[in-house]
Amino acid sequence: MVSCAMAIAVVLSVLPPVAHADESNNRQVLVRDITSVEGVRENMLVGYGLVVGLRGTGDRQQTIFTVQTLANAMQKMGVLISPTSVVVKNVAAVFITASLPPFARPGSKLDVTVSSIGDAQSLEGGVLLMSALYGPDGQVYAEAQGPLVLGGYSAGTGANKKEVNAANVGLIPQGAMVERDTSVDLSGFKTVSLLLRNPDFGTAVAIAAAVNKEFNKPVASALDSSRVDISVADASSQTVTMLISRVQSLVLNVHTPAKIVVNERTGTIVMGGDVKLSPVSVIHGNLSIQVVTTYVAVGATPVGGLGQPGEAAAGGDRKGKGGLDTLQPIVVPETNLTANDEATQSMRLDEGANVDELVKGLHAIGTSAHDVVAILQAIRAEGGMQAELEVQ
């Protein structure tokens, strides 16, 4: 099958300049929803350990580090074993991951995720032995232990095996306990810096203006599109905590950016419904060419015996001087070509139409998801789409 797409013609005209942004695109949000405080963040933890109590679904003998870890753990308990002579299928080596909150103190509990790193079939029914969790600096910040909770299972073997979700990854709710104080001392902050999750100059200026209006004096300034600094001394707040709480509770209007994200590999399109287009006409058609080769028998030739070629009757057997000859059919290829040129589909959108209307119209004329991606790219290249197009 050979398939090729016909040319896509896109006729566009440029929209007249707009003096002010459409207020309907604005939405009210809290400052805490679009910013984070610099220096107040989570930290990643990782550890290595053993999951025991499996029902024969643990690591096999070829996973050497599992047996070595088991031997080390047994040695700490006062039992000496030889790693080369141990075959245990109820144990699995795992990596443990967790996130340490910014104000975690000793005794706080954390959720941990346990993932198999060997050839274990399933961690169902397993219990994690006490394992240390390390931070980026190599220090131990928490200890993890407890029974695993799985979101899937694996049953049977070979052709009768059934798997649902991931049976090699489990969760231990509140399975780790913080051992080291990592709380951030806010009293030493001279400046509170707000970092925008989606950098935008207009949003940064709006945040600074909202803070200055709240305190009735210039205490905040937008340094760039992603950072707003607030002076703690000028704010005259009792504590930094109260200052941050007051600022994060402010409400402001945020303009939704015009952006379209497309994934050509999967045909996924994510867009804002308010993205506007210039007047556009789209012509789309498909030319499908199919080539099929079949083999047709046109005769036969004798094989075997001592008979002479050519003495055999067409379609029958005959006895030669040395025995019975058999006939082998003669086949030749026969090629059939079919061309299907579908009728061209067209659509037109008036000025002010959005991308959602465009996509619905393209689906109505029979375009696939990949065709929609190609058409959006063509419109963006011509300058008829007033939005940022991100292709993944």
Give the pLDDT confidence of 28-65 residue by residue, as tens digits.
889 999 999 998 889 999 999 999 999 888 888 667 78
Its pTM surpasses 0.85: no
The answer on pLDDT for 306 being more than 60 is no
Tell me the average pLDDT across 82-97. Answer: 83
Task: DSSP letter for 83, please.
Answer: G
Phi-psi group of 78: left, alpha or beta (phi > 0 → left; psi -120 to 50 → alpha; rest → beta): left
The answer on pLDDT for 9 being more than 50 is no
Q: Tell me what percent of the residues of the chain surpass a pLDDT of 70.
A: 66
> Predicted confidence band at 22 (pLDDT cuts at 50, 70, 90)?
very low
Residue-range domains of the chain with CATH: 23-39+185-255 (3.90.1150), 43-178 (no CATH), 260-285+342-391 (no CATH), 288-340 (no CATH)
CA-based angle 28:222:214, to the nearest 5?
55
Mean pLDDT of the chain: 76
Take residue 151 and report the two structure tokens written for it. 């979101």
Take residue 125 and report the two structure tokens written for it. 């029914």
Q: Hey, is 85 helix, strand or coil?
A: helix
What pLDDT score does 205 carry? Answer: 94
